[in-house]
């Protein structure tokens, strides 16, 4: 099952309404854009989390790690300013001017990708993130966010899993990458791998058990490990997490228990 509205995101564009929770109030040069949204769900269970993507960079440097030329820095500063003001078309224009002067400027590719995402052009957002990645920056967050676009908005879970896996290779304790990879594995019905990633996430951040307990219970049910599913249901009750009645009904039919 997929959250309402997600099926409308497959053609490469996403509406402003679907990105409406992104925060616009940041006044610093590095803009934090927090997308508060419901992530992919396993069966009937919905999880909520945030991703942070940001315009880079306050101290941008050229591809050879030398200081930026004043002209390039001028375009970067203007692009950041337009991004802060929510004028993403002008921001894109400024960062494209950077690429004319420095075709391997990773920051410009990243920023253009961010801006295209903000205006709802998913195809271009992915394309520019890919160009940044192809320059060999080795940034876990870039792989993570491209994976999010593939998985959440495109439902291309195999591609998403590859990106989350790379993000984890670069940042082994990247708990959100384990979470998202688990959700993509669950969509592909790879329940063992989904459970392993949920467990790894909890190993890294034990307090997050509360946020994934219902999803893990569903995966145990799908595997036929009803005792473990029931254990997670009981643990969820202790946490005050509401379990979907559909799972309870399925568990009662498969492995009845007194309520």
Model confidence band, residue 137 (pLDDT cutoffs 50, 70, 90): confident
Contacts of 42 (CB under 8 A, 6+ apart): 183, 186, 187, 194, 215, 218, 219
Cα 77 from Cα 132, distance rounded (Å): 19
Burial of 189 from C-beta contacts in 10 A (0-12 / 13-18 / 19+): exposed
Cα 201 from Cα 214, distance rounded (Å): 14
Q: What is the pLDDT of residues 147-182, one digit of tens each?
A: 999 998 899 999 999 999 999 999 999 999 999 999
pTM for the model stands at 0.77
Contacts of 122 (CB under 8 A, 6+ apart): 9, 12, 13, 14, 116, 149, 153, 154
Bin 181: left if φ > 0, else alpha if -120 < ψ < 50, else beta.
alpha
According to CATH, the topology of domain 6-197 is 1.25.40
**pLDDT at site 259:** 61
Residues forming a β-bridge with 37: 49
Q: Which range has the worst mean pLDDT, 51-60, 75-84, 100-109?
A: 51-60
């Amino acid at each position: 099952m997929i959250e309402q509205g997600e099926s409308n995101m497959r053609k490469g564009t996403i509406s402003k309404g679907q990105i409406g929770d992104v925060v616009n109030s940041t006044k610093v040069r590095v803009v934090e854009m927090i997308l508060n949204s419901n992530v992919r769900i396993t069966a009937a269970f919905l999880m909520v989390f945030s991703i942070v993507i940001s315009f880079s960079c306050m101290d941008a440097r050229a591809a050879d790690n030398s200081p930026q030329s004043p002209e390039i820095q001028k375009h970067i500063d203007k692009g950041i300013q337009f991004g802060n003001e929510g004028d993403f078309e002008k921001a894109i224009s400024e960062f494209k001017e950077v690429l004319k002067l420095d075709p391997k400027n990773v920051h410009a590719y990243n920023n253009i990708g961010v801006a295209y995402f903000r205006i709802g052009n998913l195809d271009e957002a992915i394309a520019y993130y890919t160009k940044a990645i192809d320059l060999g920056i080795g940034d876990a967050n870039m792989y993570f966010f491209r994976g999010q676009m593939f998985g959440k908005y495109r439902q291309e879970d195999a591609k998403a899993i590859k990106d989350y896996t790379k993000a984890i290779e670069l940042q082994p304790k990247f708990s959100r990458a384990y979470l998202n990879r688990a959700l993509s594995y669950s969509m592909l019905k790879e329940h063992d791998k989904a459970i392993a990633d949920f467990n790894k996430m909890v190993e890294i951040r034990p307090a997050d058990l509360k946020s994934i307990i219902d999803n893990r219970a569903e995966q145990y049910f799908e595997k036929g490990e009803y005792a473990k599913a029931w254990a997670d249901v009981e643990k969820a009750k202790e946490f005050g997490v509401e379990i979907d009645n559909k799972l309870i009904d399925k568990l009662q039919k498969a492995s009845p228990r007194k309520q």
